[in-house]
Amino acid sequence: MELLHRRAAERGVPLFANSAFRSRERQRDLCRADADCRQGDHTYIAPPGYSNHQLGVAVDFAGTYATGGTTCGRRRATDPGSRVWRFLEREASAVGLQQYSAESWHWDAFSGASRC
């Protein structure tokens, strides 16, 4: 992350986290507060015990807010008007981060069909 922040600073991109590590209790509270999560739709909020934030390997970055589909090939969340998203699209893989396809702000250290 230090490398990513240094590169962002060199390019004049304001890179800040809205959310990173979350406790099980915080994840539970987020899920309880969200109707979709309570009803079993975990596209945007994972249930307690299943969040990459809870594992400490995910970051939600400020400055990009687009939502999209659940796979990279199916309506990935892109935010080309955001300097932050454009920077992350180019640079995040250098530190092992990939975007979760449904959220332009969520980047983590996992791979798979939902990671771009």
Domain ranges of the chain: 1-20+56-116, 23-52
What is the band of 91 on the pLDDT scale with cuts at 50, 70, 90?
very high
Angle at 114 between CA 112 and CA 116, to 5 degrees: 85
pLDDT per position as a tens digit, 14-26: 999 999 999 999 9
When pLDDT is averaged across residues 33-40 and rounded to a whole number, the result is: 96
pTM to 2 decimal places: 0.90
How far apart CA 8 and CA 76 sit, in angstroms, is 23
Question: Which of the four pLDDT bands, split at 50, 70 and 90, describes residue 73?
Answer: confident
Buried b or exposed e, range 20-42, using 16+ CB within 10 angstroms: eebeeeebbebbeeeeebeeeee
Q: Are 59 and 105 in contact (CB under 8 A)?
A: no
> pLDDT at position 52, please?
93
